[in-house]
């Protein structure tokens, strides 16, 4: 028996050909879209890496030129290396940066109401502590800082405690007397300008906060919260910083 069915017509073949062409076209477009998406992902990743590098580069300088044109932090990397293994025990919460970073020249007031700033301590390692009378941990920490000042304070080191009471700044001297602190002058900043400066410099802050700064005015470590600054761990950390990177 002979098969009488006919093969596909020319119109059918044209339709198939058009469908195949459309499929081929869409395949090409899909491949192009994939390449565009891949390129976009690569571009976004590159931008993110560049942004990260720009941000973190601020914390990895080994030399930083100050407003006076003098390079600072030249010996800081040695002090950082000395401090890093000693951020342990009672001072384990001290955050030691990976690279040298110049501290902003924070401005505040002396106990007599005269203007001063961190640059007045240039050439001396200092532990700057920010506190307030309403801060419960500060009440416990301030006598420990006072003890640290008695033992290590001198030509090479000083505890600089800055009161940040805004509602009743006159209360601070009486508060220090009440808790038995006799060796820490009442430096203060009732306008909280130092807090704004620290935040503008992308630094975290809380009460209390302590920042160890070397003789070149560069950060050695920051501790958010209280610590036993009269402990052997704290004194070992500070002594290590004092003995390292002597070029100032």
Residue range 103-141, pLDDT digits in tens: 999 999 999 999 999 999 999 999 999 999 999 999 999
Instruction: Please name the helix (run of DSSP H) or strand (run of DSSP E) that holds residue 165, with its range, or none.
Output: none
For 127-181, write each residue's pLDDT tens digit: 999 999 999 999 999 999 999 999 999 999 999 999 999 988 889 999 999 999 9
State the chain's mean pLDDT as an integer.
82
Q: Residue 220: which pLDDT band, with cuts at 50, 70 and 90?
A: very high
Per-position DSSP letters for 61-122, written without gaps between them:
-S-EE-TTS-EE-TTHHHHHHHHGGG--GGGTT-B--SS--BPP--EEE-TTS-EEEGGGGT
For 17-34, write each residue's pLDDT tens digit: 666 666 666 665 656 555
Tell me: pLDDT of 247 over 50.
Answer: no
- Answering whether pTM is above 0.75, one says no
**pLDDT at res. 18:** 64
Q: Which residues contact 52 (CB under 8 A, 6 or more apart)?
A: none
Q: Residue 204: which pLDDT band, with cuts at 50, 70 and 90?
A: confident
Tell me: pLDDT of 50 over 90.
Answer: no
Tell me: pLDDT of 244 over 60.
Answer: yes
- Of all residues in the chain, the percent with pLDDT exceeding 90 is 65
**Dihedral through CA 61, CA 63, CA 66, CA 71, nearest 10?**
180
Provide the 8-state DSSP code for 223. E
């Amino acid at each position: 028996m002979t098969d009488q069915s006919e093969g596909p017509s020319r119109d059918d073949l044209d339709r198939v050909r058009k469908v195949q062409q459309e499929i081929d076209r869409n395949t090409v477009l899909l491949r192009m879209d994939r390449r565009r998406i891949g390129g976009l992902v690569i571009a976004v990743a590159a931008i993110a890496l560049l942004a990260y590098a720009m941000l973190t580069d601020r914390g990895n300088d080994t030399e930083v030129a100050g407003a006076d044109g003098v390079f600072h932090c030249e010996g800081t990397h040695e002090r950082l290396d000395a401090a890093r293994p000693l951020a342990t025990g009672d001072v384990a919460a001290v955050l030691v940066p990976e690279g040298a970073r110049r501290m902003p020249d924070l401005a505040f007031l002396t106990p007599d109401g005269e203007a001063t700033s961190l640059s007045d301590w240039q050439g001396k390692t200092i532990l700057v502590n920010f506190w307030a009378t309403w801060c419960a941990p500060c009440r416990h920490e301030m006598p420990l800082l006072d003890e640290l000042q008695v033992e290590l304070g001198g030509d090479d080191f000083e505890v600089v405690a800055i009161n940040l009471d805004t509602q009743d700044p006159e209360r601070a001297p009486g508060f220090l007397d009440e808790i038995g602190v006799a060796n820490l002058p009442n430096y203060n900043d009732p306008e909280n300008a130092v807090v704004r400066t620290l935040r503008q410099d992308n630094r975290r802050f809380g009460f209390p906060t302590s920042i160890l700064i070397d003789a070149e005015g560069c950060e050695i470590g920051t501790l958010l919260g209280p610590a036993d600054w009269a402990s052997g761990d704290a004194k070992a950390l500070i002594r290590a910083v004092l003995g390292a990177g002597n070029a100032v």
